[in-house]
Structure 1
């Protein structure tokens, strides 16, 4: 064997590596067929709003109205927001103040957009000599609209005794049937009988018997 023929001899079980085809792509390197790098497209989230009070504005604007889109807020919802944020304290700022300056911006409209609402905040801050930044900070930190707890019904032995219709007497007993259901007007009134007899007679048959 000469020096020029120094290539290794492959056995029958070995084979040369197959080169990649021209149409294949390198997935790991994200290269195209021309060898150029391909950038992966990713969906980036929407940028946060530049206005920190916008999120709470939309929440309070939609409060109590399932059809509202949150684009405009009414005076009542604005007052709820002010009270929750402790902007309305009953001394420096009252609901009378918010009503005056809200209607000054709204004119004939019932609700204000976010841009108009910022004008309302500027107006009330200027007239009440308060830093508008302080008001906006309180509104931002107020959180979403809060609901008060509903009153729970009392359930005690005294309440059960007072609502037991079987223990009622007199005319009150006549207001309920055997199942405890109210009889309505029938149980409250005693309509007169249109028989021509006076009230002293219990039945009409007694008069007929005495006449015979």
Structure 2
């Protein structure tokens, strides 16, 4: 599920750096200068890492685990707890999940694209 193709070189980015990058993609958290991740951005990250595949892991699964926090968005420490819960609930290896999430590539913020064009 998390294997690289032969000869594929992908940078491994620390999980907290990836978390911050996905937090930045959330307009509300970004505008307030907060590092809080909402479910929508978490799902995008998990899909990018090929964990959220709509077969073994669905958006219903991720939502059920996320809404246990009863908040719109969660901190990095809470997110690690969320990942543990999701892994346990779905019978996934947490280390494999984190590995895939570190190697799936950081999201590109629209502002970065705009600045690059100028």
TM-score range with shorter-chain normalisation?
A: 0.7 to 0.9
Correspondences of 1:26-175 after superposition (within 5 Å): 52-65=14-27, 66-104=30-68, 106-107=69-70, 109-146=71-108
Structure 1 unaligned regions, length at least 5: 1-50, 148-212
- Residues 39 and 73, structure 2, Cα contact 8 Å, conserved in 1: yes
1:146–1:83 distance in 2 versus 1, CA, 3 Å: farther
Structure 2 unaligned regions, length at least 5: 1-12, 110-118
> What stretches of structure 1 move > 3 A for 4+ residues in a row?
none
Equivalent residue number for residue 48 of structure 1:
none
Give the structure, 1 or 2, with the largest relative contact order (CA under 8 Å, sep 6 or more).
Answer: 2
Once the two structures are TM-superposed, the CA of residue 103 in structure 1 deviates from its matched residue by 0.6
Name the structure with the higher helix share: 2
Return the TM-score normalized by structure 1.
0.42
The structure whose Rg is larger is 1
Q: How many residues align?
A: 95
What do you get for the CA RMSD once the two structures are aligned?
Answer: 1.8
Separation in 1 of the partners of 2:21 and 2:32?
Answer: 10
- Residues 72 and 113, structure 1, Cα contact 8 Å, conserved in 2: yes
